[in-house]
Amino acid sequence: MILSPSLLSADFADLGRELAELEAAGLAWAHLDVMDGRFVPNITFGPPVIKALRRRSGLFFDVHLMVDAPERYLEDFRAAGADMLVVHAEATLHLQRTLAEIRRLGMRAGVAFNPATPLGALEYVATDADMVLIMGVNPGFSGQAFLPTTYAKVREARRILDGHGRQDVKIQVDGGVDPANTAELVRCGADVLVSGSAFFGAPPYAERLRTFMNAARDGK
């Protein structure tokens, strides 16, 4: 299991230090939530901030685009230093084309599904994705309560991917993830867990990482 802490819950006044502390604690990924105030009711940051952070960190930048028509910005995020771009199935009219373009630009491509969005589209883009993100809350704000229907959706995503011979595609869960539901999410097939307030709100980070990883082992 990979833990990808969401910087949405980090100290925005000192994100460079936060990234350094994540690396020192043994984390390998960081989750960066980009929101446009239109696709979701919040605004965060964009390529300039990610570019500045890229100069300060060697972490894998897992960039979650919660924006309308994300295909407009793919090259900007590549230039900023994103390692993976995750776009929402609900946000782009040409999902397959967008995922293929992300890969052509040299990044890994992910597709995200909101809680009420069926996974039917995954049948048609399973060969174009490197990761599938299942939202455990409605996107837009940190600290929301986890939706239990997420478990079944993770299992369904794993079934679809396996049916297409894509056992290599990771399943990520974002929203409401904490040590209490980690084991069950891993048991259902999750490979990457995003945690915001449940991670950053319980330092030290190395100890918090161990808590999550111990919980994940219980789900094996």
Give the ranges where 105-169 is alpha helix by DSSP (H).
Answer: 122-125, 150-163
- Contacts of 46-51 with C-beta under 8 Å, sequence gap 24+, read 46/73, 46/76, 47/73, 47/76, 47/77, 47/79, 47/80, 48/80, 49/15, 50/77, 50/80, 50/81, 50/82, 51/79, 51/80, 51/81
The interaxial angle of helices 179-188 and 150-163, nearest 10 deg, is 30
Q: Is 128 noted as a catalytic residue in this protein?
A: no
Catalytic residue among 33, 36, 128, 191: 33
Structure-token pair, residue 117: 């969005």
Q: Is 174 noted as a catalytic residue in this protein?
A: yes
Place of tokens 């949405």: 8
Residue from 99, 146, 145, 144 nearest 121 by CA: 99
Q: Is 105 exposed, middle or buried (0-12, 13-18, 19+ CB in 10 A)?
A: middle
Place of tokens 């390692």: 83
Catalytic residue among 36, 130, 174, 178: 174
Instruction: Check if the beta carbon of residue 212 is closer than 8 Å to that of residue 183.
Output: no
Active site residue ranges: 33, 174
